[in-house]
Amino acid sequence: MPRPRLPVARPLPRLPGGDPRRLAQAVSARVVNQLAAPSFARRAARHAMLPNGAVAVFFATGPENLYQFEQWRRPLEELASRRPVLVVVDRPDTGAEILSRSTLPVAFARGSAALEELVAERDVRVVLYLNQVEPNFRMLRFPAPVHVQIGHGESDKASSASHQHQAYDLTFVAGQAGSDRLGAALRGFDPAVRTLPVGRPQLDHDYPGAPDWAPGSGRRVLYAPTWEGDRPSIAYGSVAASGVTIAEALLADLDVRVIYRPHPRTGRASSTHAVADRRIRELLRAGGDRHLVDEGPYGWQWSFADACVTDVSAVAYDWLATGKPLVVTEPAPTAQRPPSPLLDRLVLLAPADAGDVLARLAVVEPELADLSRYYFGETTDRASTARFLAAIEQAYAR
d(CA 313, CA 132): 16
**Stretch 335-348: mean pLDDT:** 88
By the 8 A CB rule, do 59 and 115 touch?
Answer: no
Among 66, 67, 43, 60, residue whose Cα is nearest residue 128:
60
By the 8 A CB rule, do 346 and 313 touch?
Answer: no
Helix, strand or coil, per DSSP, at residue 314:
helix
| More confident of the two residues 21 and 155 | 155
**Stretch 284-300: mean pLDDT:** 95
Helix, strand or coil, per DSSP, at residue 184:
helix
pLDDT band at 337 (very low <50, low <70, confident <90, very high): confident
pLDDT of residue 226: 95
pLDDT band at 336 (very low <50, low <70, confident <90, very high): confident
Is 60 exceeded by the pLDDT of residue 10?
no
Poorest-confidence range of 27-41, 210-224, 285-299, 301-315?
27-41
Percent above pLDDT 90 for the chain = 79
Distance of CA 227 to the CA centre of its chain: 12
Environment class of 213 (CB within 10 Å of its CB; exposed 0-12, middle 13-18, buried 19+): middle
CATH architecture of 219-376: 3-Layer(aba) Sandwich (3.40)
44-204 and 219-376 share one fold = yes
| Sheet bearing 106-108, strands edge to edge | 106-108, 85-89, 55-58, 126-129, 146-149, 170-173, 195-197
Phi, psi of 190 (to 5 degrees): -100, 100
pLDDT band at 19 (very low <50, low <70, confident <90, very high): low
Is 70 exceeded by the pLDDT of residue 6?
no
Is 70 exceeded by the pLDDT of residue 101?
yes
Is 90 exceeded by the pLDDT of residue 258?
yes
| More confident of the two residues 56 and 297 | 56
**Stretch 276-288: mean pLDDT:** 97
d(CA 264, CA 379): 27
d(CA 392, CA 172): 9
Environment class of 174 (CB within 10 Å of its CB; exposed 0-12, middle 13-18, buried 19+): buried
Q: What is the DSSP string of 5-66?
A: PPPPPPPPPPPGGG-HHHHHHHHHHHHHHHHHHHHHHHHHHHH-PPPSSPEEEE--S-GGGH
**Stretch 234-238: mean pLDDT:** 94
d(CA 90, CA 107): 9
Is 90 exceeded by the pLDDT of residue 13?
no
pLDDT band at 20 (very low <50, low <70, confident <90, very high): low
pLDDT in tens, 209-228: 999 999 999 999 999 999 99
CATH top-level class of 44-204: alpha beta
By the 8 A CB rule, do 354 and 242 touch?
Answer: yes
pLDDT in tens, 81-92: 999 999 999 999
pLDDT band at 26 (very low <50, low <70, confident <90, very high): confident
| More confident of the two residues 288 and 338 | 288
Hey, how many other C-beta atoms are within 10 angstroms of the C-beta on 16?
Answer: 10
Q: Could you tell me the residue ranges of all domains in the chain?
A: 44-204, 219-376
Task: Kindly give, in sequence order, each residue whose CB lies less than 8 Å from that of residue 47, ignoring residues fewer than 6 positions away.
Answer: 99, 105, 106
pLDDT of residue 304: 97
Average per-residue pLDDT in the chain? Answer: 92
pLDDT of residue 231: 92
Poorest-confidence range of 190-194, 239-243, 316-320, 386-390?
316-320
pLDDT in tens, 129-176: 999 999 999 999 999 999 999 998 898 877 788 999 999 999 999 999
